[in-house]
C-alpha cells in the first residue's frame, strides 16, 4: 500500500475526474488523501479517500468566484483566462505550497499527483524532493511549431499565408507568455523556491509523468508530445457500471420517447442561459426531438415558458443520459465533450471562454461536430448546425472513431496503472528546468 496525495482545484470539472482516479486507487488498497476546497471534500470521502481542506488558501465557491477574487467579476473570454491564471492559479500557489509542506511533515506521502492548475503541487514536490506526477482533467495541447498558437481557436494553416499568420501570432503569444513567466517566478519566490528557467507553458506539468485525459487523435497532427505524457481517454470512466445518480422526475419521458434525444449543456462555470441554453431551446422548439437541458449549478427556473419538447434539470447523470443521446449541444467543456465522444455522440459546440474555443476548433476540424465559432450563437445558427450533424452521417462516424480511441486508452484504470508504475520507478533527482 502506498500513501498518495491528490490535489484538485475546487471546480466540478476538475474534481470529478480526480475523484474517479482516487476511487480506483482506493480500490487497489492505497491510502489516498485529496487536497481541495471545502465544497468538494465530501465527494472524495464518498469513495474512501481522506479529504484535506485548503487551510492557508482562500477557499472559494466556483459558482461565485468573484466573491473571493473580485477581478473575476464580469470577466469573460481572454480577460477571464488571464485573471484565472494571475489571481487563482499563480496567486494561490504559495499558500497551497505551505499547506502541502505542512501536511507532508505531519504525514509523509510516497507520491503527490495532481491537477496541473494546482501549482502548489509542483512547488511542494520541489521543496520536499517528492515524487510527483500530473493527473490532468484538462486537454494537453502544448504550444509547438506544428500547431497554431493556442487560445485563439485556430485550425492548422493552409499555404504560405496561413503559415505566416502563425509565425506572427507565435511572437505575440511569446510576448504575453513572458509576462506570465515573470509572475510565475514571483510565485516561486513566494513559495520559498529559488529562481529557475521554467516558462509558464511548462510550469504546470510534471516532467516525469503526465497522465492526461483525452487522446492523441483529438489534437491536430503533431509528433512533438513528450514521452512523459500518457493519454488515458476519459478520466470519468472507471470501466465499471455505476449508479446513474439522481434522476429528474420527468426521466420516464426520456425512457419512453420515440424521438431523438438532444442534450444541451452550458457547463458549470459561465452559466448565463442567454448564451447557449435559450438559443438552443428556441432553435429546437419546432424539431421532432426531445431536448434535455442540464443547467449545471443554475437552479432557478429559466425565464418564460419552456417549449413543449424540452425537459430541464440542474444536473442530469451522464451514465444514464448519454447512451440515449443523439446529439449534444455544448459550450465545449472538455469533460463533457470526452464523455459524449466516448458514447459516440456527435456535437454542436459553442466555445466562447477559456480553453473552449480550442476544443470547439478541434471538434470542427476533425468533423466530429460543428464548431459555431462563438459562445453566444443565434438560434438560427444552432438550428442549422443541428441539421447538419443529423443529416450528414460523417459527423457520427467521426465521433464513433474518436470514441473508440478514447475507450481503448483505458480510462481511470490506465491512470492508476501509470501512477503505480511511477511509484516504483527510479526517483527523480531534480525537476526539469
Over residues 88-100, the pLDDT tens digits come to 899 999 999 999 9
In whole angstroms, what is the distance from residue 246 CA to residue 294 CA? 13
Q: Which residues of 68-88 are buried (b: 16+ CB within 10 A; e: fewer)?
A: ebebbeebbeeebeebbbbbb
Please tell me the pTM assigned to this model.
0.92
3-state secondary structure (DSSP) of residue 229: strand
The whole-number pLDDT of residue 151 equals: 80
Q: Which residues of 299-315 are buried (b: 16+ CB within 10 A; e: fewer)?
A: eeebeeeeeebbbbbeb
pLDDT at 433 over 60: no
In whole angstroms, what is the distance from residue 223 CA to residue 367 CA? 21
pLDDT at 72 over 80: no
Q: pLDDT per residue over 263-286, tens digit each?
A: 999 887 667 899 999 999 999 999
Q: pLDDT per residue over 231-266, tens digit each?
A: 999 999 776 766 667 899 999 999 999 999 999 998
List the grid coordinates of 21.
482516479
24 CB neighbour count, 10 Å cutoff: 23
List the grid coordinates of 228.
512523459
pLDDT at 293 over 70: yes
Domain 251-407 has CATH 3.40.50.2000: yes
Phi, psi angles (nearest 5°) of residue 294: -105, 120
The whole-number pLDDT of residue 432 equals: 42
Identify the band that residue 48 occupies on the pLDDT scale cut at 50, 70 and 90. very high
Identify the band that residue 152 occupies on the pLDDT scale cut at 50, 70 and 90. confident
The whole-number pLDDT of residue 321 equals: 96
Please list the residue range(s) of the chain that carry CATH number 3.40.50.2000. 3-238+410-424, 251-407
In whole angstroms, what is the distance from residue 30 CA to residue 420 CA? 10
Mean of the per-residue pLDDT values for the chain? 91
- Annotation: CATH topology of 3-238+410-424: Rossmann fold (3.40.50)
List the grid coordinates of 107.
504525514
Q: What is the mean pLDDT of residues 39-44?
A: 94
pLDDT at 339 over 90: yes
The whole-number pLDDT of residue 17 equals: 95
CB distance 136 to 30 below 8 Å: no
Q: pLDDT per residue over 202-231, tens digit each?
A: 999 999 999 999 999 999 999 999 999 999
The whole-number pLDDT of residue 243 equals: 62
End-to-end CA distance of the chain: 32
pLDDT-wise least confident of 62-66, 246-250, 367-371, 414-418: 62-66
Q: What is the mean pLDDT of residues 34-55?
A: 95
List the grid coordinates of 406.
478514447
pLDDT at 298 over 90: no
Amino acid at each position: 500500500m502506498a500513501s498518495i496525495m491528490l490535489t484538485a482545484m475546487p471546480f466540478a470539472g476538475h474534481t470529478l475526474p480526480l475523484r474517479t482516479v482516487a476511487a480506483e486507487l482506493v480500490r487497489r488498497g492505497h491510502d489516498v488523501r485529496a487536497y481541495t476546497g471545502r465544497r468538494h471534500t465530501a465527494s472524495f470521502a464518498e469513495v474512501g479517500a481522506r479529504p484535506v481542506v485548503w487551510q492557508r488558501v482562500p477557499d472559494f465557491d466556483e459558482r461565485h468566484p468573484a466573491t473571493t477574487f473580485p477581478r473575476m467579476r464580469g470577466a469573460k473570454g481572454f480577460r477571464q483566462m488571464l485573471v484565472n491564471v494571475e489571481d487563482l492559479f499563480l496567486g494561490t500557489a504559495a499558500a497551497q505550497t505551505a499547506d502541502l509542506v505542512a501536511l507532508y511533515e505531519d504525514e509523509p506521502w510516497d507520491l503527490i499527483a495532481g491537477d496541473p492548475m494546482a501549482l502548489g503541487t509542483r512547488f511542494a514536490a520541489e521543496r520536499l524532493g517528492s515524487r510527483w506526477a500530473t493527473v490532468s482533467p484538462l486537454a494537453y495541447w502544448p504550444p509547438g511549431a506544428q500547431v497554431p498558437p493556442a487560445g485563439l481557436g485556430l485550425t492548422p494553416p493552409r499555404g504560405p499565408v496561413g503559415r505566416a499568420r502563425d509565425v506572427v501570432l507565435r511572437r505575440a503569444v511569446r510576448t504575453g507568455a513572458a509576462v506570465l513567466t515573470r509572475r510565475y517566478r514571483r510565485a516561486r519566490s513566494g513559495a520559498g523556491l529559488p529562481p529557475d528557467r521554467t516558462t509558464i507553458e511548462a510550469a504546470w506539468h510534471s516532467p516525469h509523468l503526465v497522465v492526461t485525459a483525452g487522446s492523441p487523435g483529438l489534437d491536430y497532427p503533431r509528433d512533438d508530445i513528450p514521452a512523459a505524457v500518457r493519454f488515458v481517454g476519459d478520466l470519468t470512466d472507471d470501466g465499471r457500471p455505476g449508479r446513474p445518480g439522481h434522476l429528474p422526475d420527468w426521466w420516464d419521458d426520456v425512457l419512453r420517447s420515440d424521438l431523438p434525444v438532444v442534450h444541451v449543456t452550458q457547463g458549470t462555470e459561465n452559466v448565463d442561459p442567454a448564451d447557449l441554453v435559450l438559443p438552443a431551446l428556441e432553435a429546437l422548439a419546432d424539431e421532432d426531438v426531445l431536448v434535455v437541458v442540464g443547467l449545471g449549478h443554475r437552479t432557478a427556473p429559466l425565464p418564460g415558458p419552456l417549449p413543449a419538447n424540452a425537459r430541464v434539470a440542474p444536473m442530469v447523470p451522464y451514465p444514464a443520459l448519454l447512451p440515449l443521446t443523439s446529439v449534444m449541444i455544448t459550450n465545449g467543456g472538455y469533460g463533457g465533450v470526452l464523455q459524449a465522444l466516448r458514447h459516440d455522440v456527435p456535437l454542436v459546440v459553442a466555445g466562447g471562454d477559456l480553453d473552449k474555443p480550442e476544443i470547439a476548433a478541434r471538434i470542427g476540424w476533425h468533423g466530429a461536430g460543428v464548431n459555431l465559432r462563438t459562445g453566444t450563437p443565434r438560434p438560427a445558427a444552432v438550428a442549422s448546425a443541428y441539421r447538419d450533424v443529423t443529416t450528414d452521417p460523417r459527423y457520427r462516424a467521426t465521433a464513433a472513431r474518436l470514441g473508440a480511441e478514447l475507450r481503448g486508452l483505458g480510462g481511470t484504470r490506465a491512470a492508476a496503472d501509470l501512477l503505480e508504475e511511477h511509484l516504483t520507478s527510479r526517483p527523480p533527482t531534480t525537476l526539469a528546468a
